[in-house]
Chain A
Amino acid sequence: MLRALDRKLFRDLWAVRGQVIAISCVLAGGIATYVMSASTLESLQQTQSRMYREFRFPELFAGLKQAPLSVATRVAAVPGIAAVEARVVAPANIELAGYGQPVSGQVVGLPLGAGRFNLLHLHAGRMPEPGRDKEALVSDGFAKAHQLQPGFELAVTINGRKQRLVVVGVASSPEFTYQLAPGSIVPDFKTYCILWMNAAPLEGSFNMTGAFNQLAASLERGARVEDAVQAVDAILRTYGGLGAHGRKDQISHRFLAEEFKQLEMMATLFPAIFLSVAGFLLNVVVGRLMATQRGQIATLKAFGYTTGAIVWHFVKFTAVIVTIGTLLGIAGGAWMGSGMSRLYMDVYRFPYLEYSIGGGVVAMSFAVSLAAAGVGTLFSVLKSAAESPAVAMQPANPGKYRRSFLEMPWFSQPSRMIVRNLERRPVKSLLSIGGVAMSTAILILGGFWGDAVDYMVFAQLRRAQLDDLTVTFFTPVSTRGLHSLRSLPGVTYAEPTRSVAARFRFAQRTYRTALQGMEPEGQLRRLLDAKLGRVELPPEGILLTDHLATMLGVKPGDTVTVELLEGSRAVRQVAVAGVVSEYIGVTAYMRRDALNRFLREGDVATGAYLAVDPPAMPELYQRLKRVPAVAGVAARAQALKSFYETLAAQMLTFAFFNTLLASTIAIGVVYNTVRISLSERGRELASLRVLGYTRGEVSYILLGELTVLVFLAIPVGLVMGHGLAYFMAMSAQTELFRIPFVVRPSTYAMAALVVALATAGSAFLVGRKINHLDLVEVLKARE
């Protein structure tokens, strides 16, 4: 019985194929962003937990100055701690034949035999053999960046002593999935590297034989991290303990956790926008279909079809669109997701990443698109299907209109028609405006990321950090030593700095970070407020990164407890003089002389900022490498370049998808709106053509309505985009980084332009249909 009806179904679908495609695409956009984010999230989380198990990621971490190995045994005896592994990790400078830039890194001592924690994944080569002092493994990111193969030789300076190491393998480890050089913004695999070598020779070079400076532990089931941290801190205090912490403060783990949060938001916010627009479009199209088929439905019922059969018929109509959209979306999401995973693999050095789409994600995709479609259509389908055939058979009356308060006496009749049509369907008009506004907002969001990054780069590297090179020392150095730096070739200016680990406490809250001693009128490093104005360092007291102040809940004028974790280990109440605006990490600042007094030390520094004549740079690198006190050298220009390179690639991809998705919504909404108007009013417009109206004049009525909608939608969209960007900026505020809320005027203009172009494109498509209105056909039959 339904065979004929099914044929009708496909003909109906074919008749509105343009709209079927438009709605499917909007639906697909929502499903694609969901599938992309959800599947990437799921894959990353699965990979993470598998990797943590397989490579034994510890649960407790502690750094310290130095302690004999017997201390590790004492830690192992702490209740709640299951197993402990102690090791030596040393900072190093690395020279690579044929690469002129400074490369810094860490050398990790490998325990004899099988290690307990942080097992390595070998990408190539082999492990260093026991007793071979000159063999080392390099991190895979570094190996890839420089195309290093096993057999390659590196000159590695540890503790001022240069030695040649042979690369025997390429490895990765869960503790180094995110490799951020101290003070840098994004991982730079060209200038930062992790090396692993046998423990004995490393301990020898670092004067740490029989001792350790890092400790990892696992916990017994049910043990609390906080308790273990306290107990371990108590033991390590006398050995220069830098404070133990759980996974949550481990840098790789923390960055991944942040990333997961972002993905979760992406998996809800964007799909919600797209699906609500798709639901609206389906509502409009199915509503129109029900109206045109009113007579047909009545006839079918007159011949004995049940209401249920009719409802089922239109449910199938919707289901076809939902299926097309969802399948398209899943395919698109899989494609984007695998691309996104590759992007993650570039930044996060997982030993492997198995990208897959779980059955749950697929089921969820269908469930949410069906839900959106159901909400959008079910009401009008049920209502029409239940209508009494006798009523439905009667011809529909002309639509009920009324004069609009918006119209002016001098309006031409076509202009009146535009205004009255908009006003007759206020909900539909508002939803159309909402849809177009959403797409404008999404476009602004895309532009916002670029604006924010540009602003960060500008603020950080052109206003705050003006040094060409940052030098760090192994141990605090008297500032007299700075004279020797100043006399190096090309150095035009040098500014000392003193950094010390400290714990900050206010009320119940504590936070561990660096307390940085700065020169009062520093030329190379400046502390800035949110408007990029300079913030002066007070003679006493501290300045906090704004986010640190928020986390601690302090405001300028409050007093915080500062506990130094090195040197004097003094504890003191210090006044918070103000906050500074920074985008990466959180730090507290103090005048260097005040900090040195706090530490009960003389005029010393742990590093220096240098201004350098660019031509002298290569020679200066060579000379700096030979200065024994220098632990590391970082170049600003290099950081800037790599930052731009990494981000530019990601931004471009993001902007592309973003524009694509936003245009899908804009075109979907606009095309459907006009298409429906045309179908509702084709007869009316054809009548006008019969009366002598030209094509242009008839197009004006139809497209004028659209133009009014879009003109109203764009400002709404600009405001919404502003809000959405603000929301994104606020929800991305973490201790690791913040995104400034900056949207350039050009971004707003661009969003408006893209929407206008999408509108013009859809108008063009429908405009061609106006030209082909069949005048005779339209007059023949009553609708």
Chain B
Amino acid sequence: MEAVFAARAVTKFYDMGEVRVHALRGVDIELYSGEMMVLLGPSGSGKSTLLNILGGLDRASGGSVLYRGFDITAAKDRELTQYRRRHVGFVFQFYNLIPSLTALENVAAVTEIAENPMKPAEALELVGLADRMHHFPSQLSGGQQQRVAIARAIAKRPSVLLCDEPTGALDSETGIVVLEAIDKVNRELGAATAVITHNADIAGMADRVIHMSNGGVSHVELNANRRNPRELHW
């Protein structure tokens, strides 16, 4: 299988005056094409830091991250913007929708700057929100907002979909609906997907689970049969 990402000895530290906080202490991982990966670990273990580096939002202090052979740790700011624009779809814990745009327009905001996007309505259908296209974020529930965020992330047909605690702000039932949406787009679009969670029950939906603790990968677990999110409960 082709590796979309290959991260080698990635470190990240924050200098806080006298002390240096090590968020990542040398991480080696791969993300394969079409794969569903879950990053599992307690709060503060470095999951978000790693995801942000993979997504070109943040820079590593050391090591290298190759995206299809392109070293994003050495990329310029402008190149990172283009990289995010073309290849990466993000989903965040707090949705981060644009409040002044409707669901459809939020998706369009991304498709307008993408190269070969799907139609915004199509993306919303994919997440089961065809009937809510013209609602503003303030008129949607949290779960619906998160599904709009997923539609927005996948509408450009990204090669990678990065989700940071997508269910963190949702109750379990709504969370499952959101995870189903992620699962569906991963299967149908084949985007390599990484989902962050600190909830071990969610790990069942992954092909591969990366356990993180204290800024490093503690072990990797392969799931022989990936479960449908509907079968999960917590």
A412 near B98 (CB under 8 angstroms)? no
Residues of B within 8 A of A782 (CB): 94
Question: Which of A395-403, A529-537, A624-632 lies at the interface with chain B?
Answer: A395-403
A and B contact pairs by CB, cutoff 8 A, 28 listed: A398-B97, A398-B138, A399-B99, A399-B138, A401-B99, A402-B136, A413-B101, A414-B109, A416-B105, A417-B101, A684-B96, A684-B100, A687-B92, A687-B98, A688-B98, A689-B81, A691-B109, A691-B152, A692-B86, A692-B113, A692-B114, A693-B81, A693-B85, A693-B113, A695-B81, A775-B57, A776-B58, A779-B96
Does B110 sit at the interface, judged by CB under 8 A? yes
Contacts of B229 in A (CB 8 A): none
Taking a contact as CB atoms under 8 Å apart, the answer to whether B58 and A401 are in contact is no
With A399-B99, A401-B136 already in contact, the answer to whether A692 and B92 are too (CB < 8 A) is: no
Does residue A526 face the partner (Cβ distance < 8 Å to B)?
A: no
Shortest CB distance B124–A (Å): 15
Are A684 and B113 in contact, CB atoms less than 8 angstroms apart?
no
Chain B, Cβ-Cβ closest to A778:
B96
B100: which of A421, A695, A779 is its contact (CB, 8 Å)? Answer: A421
Instruction: Give me 8 other A-B pairs in contact (C-beta within 8 A), A684-B99, A687-B97, A692-B113 excluded.
Output: A397-B138, A399-B99, A413-B106, A424-B100, A684-B96, A692-B114, A694-B81, A780-B48
Which residue in chain A gives the minimum CB-CB distance to B89?
Answer: A691
- Mark contacts of A671-690 with chain B using CB atoms, 8 A cut-off: 1 yes-contact digit, 0 otherwise: 00000000000011001111
Min CB–CB distance B142 → chain A (angstroms): 10
B67 within 8 A of partner (CB): no
| Cα-based distance from A400 to B86 in the complex (angstroms) | 31
Q: Which residue of B lies closest to A684 (CB)?
A: B98
Judged by a CB distance under 8 angstroms, whether A601 is at the interface is no
Chain B residues 75 to 116 lying within 8 A of chain A, measured CB to CB, are 78, 81-82, 84-86, 88, 90, 92, 94, 96-102, 105-106, 108-110, 112-114
Question: Within 8 Å CB of B90, what residues of A?
Answer: 690-691
- Say yes or no: is A259 at the interface (Cβ < 8 Å to chain B): no
Kindly state whether residue B33 has any CB partner on chain A within 8 Å: no
Q: Which residues of A contact B109 (CB under 8 A)?
A: 413-414, 688, 691
Q: List B contacts of A397 (CB < 8 A).
A: 138
Cβ of A692 and Cβ of B85 under 8 Å apart?
A: yes
**Which chain A residues lie closer than 8 Å to B99 at the CB level?**
398-401, 684
Complex Cα spacing A102 to B97, Å: 82
0 or 1 for each of B148-171: is its CB under 8 Å from A? (1 = yes): 000010000000000010000000
Question: Is A420 interfacial (CB 8 A cutoff)?
Answer: yes
Question: How does the 8 Å CB contact mask read for A716-755 relative to B, with 1 for contact and 0 for none?
Answer: 0000000000000000000000000000000000000000
Contacts of A689 in B (CB 8 A): 81
Given contacts A398-B137, A400-B138, A697-B113, contact A690 B84 (CB under 8 A): yes
Q: What interface size band does chain A fall in?
A: 20 to 34
Answer whether residue B52 sits at the interface, using C-beta atoms and an 8 A cutoff. yes
Closest 4 A/B residue pairs (Cβ): A692-B85, A398-B99, A413-B109, A687-B96
Contacts of A775 in B (CB 8 A): 57-58
Q: Tell me, in angstroms, the Cα distance from A689 to B164 when the chains sit together.
A: 17
Q: Mark A393-430, 1 if CB is under 8 A from B, else 0.
A: 00001111111000000001110110011001000000
Q: Considering the complex, which residues of chain B in the window 34-89 have a beta carbon less than 8 Å from any beta carbon of chain A? A: 48, 52, 55, 57-58, 78, 81-82, 84-86, 88
In the docked arrangement, what's the CA distance between A270 and B153, Å?
53
**B138→A413 contact, CB < 8 A:** no
A692–B81 contact, CB under 8 A? yes
Contact B82 A692, beta carbon cutoff 8 Å: yes
In the assembled complex, the Cα of A689 lies from the Cα of B57 at a distance in Å of 9
Inter-subunit contact A683/B113 (CB<8 Å): no
Contacts of A400 in B (CB 8 A): 99, 136, 138
Q: Are A413 and B97 in contact (CB-based, < 8 A)?
A: no
Cβ contact within 8 Å between A399 and B81: no
Contacts of B152 in A (CB 8 A): 691
Which A residues are CB-close (under 8 A) to B164?
A: 779
CA distance A400 to B140 in the complex (A): 11
CA distance A768 to B49 in the complex (A): 26
Whether A417 touches B98, Cβ cut-off 8 Å, given contacts A398-B137, A401-B136, A775-B57, is yes
Whether the pair B100, A416 counts as a contact (CB closer than 8 A) is yes
Closest CB in chain B relative to A769 CB, distance in Å: 16
Enumerate chain A residues within 8 angstroms of B112, measured Cβ to Cβ.
412-413
Q: Could you say which residues of chain A place their CB within 8 Å of the CB of B136?
A: 398, 400-402
With beta carbons under 8 angstroms apart, the residue of A403, A424, A692 that contacts B110 is: A692
A690 near B57: Cβ-Cβ < 8 Å: yes
User: Smallest CB-CB separation from A421: which chain B residue?
Assistant: B100
Decide yes or no: A691 and B84 within 8 Å by CB, A401-B99, A417-B98 being known contacts.
yes
Q: A693 — nearest CB in chain B belongs to which residue?
A: B113
B101 surroundings in chain A (CB, below 8 A): 401, 413, 416-417, 420
The reply to whether B100 and A417 form a contact with Cβ atoms under 8 Å apart is: yes
> Judging by beta carbons under 8 Å apart, are B57 and A776 in contact?
yes
A399 CA to B100 CA, complexed, in Å: 7
CB atoms of B100 and A420 under 8 A apart: yes
Which of B81, B98, B108, B109 has the largest number of chain A CB atoms within 10 A? B98
Given A397-B138, A399-B138, answer yes or no on A692-B84 (Cβ-Cβ < 8 Å): yes
Q: In whole angstroms, what is the CA distance A400 to B58 when docked?
A: 32
Q: State A458–B11 Cα separation when bound (angstroms).
A: 78
Residue of B nearest to A779 (CB): B92
> CB-nearest residue of chain A relative to B78?
A694
Given contacts A400-B136, A401-B99, contact A691 B57 (CB under 8 A): no
Residue of chain A at shortest CB distance from B96:
A687
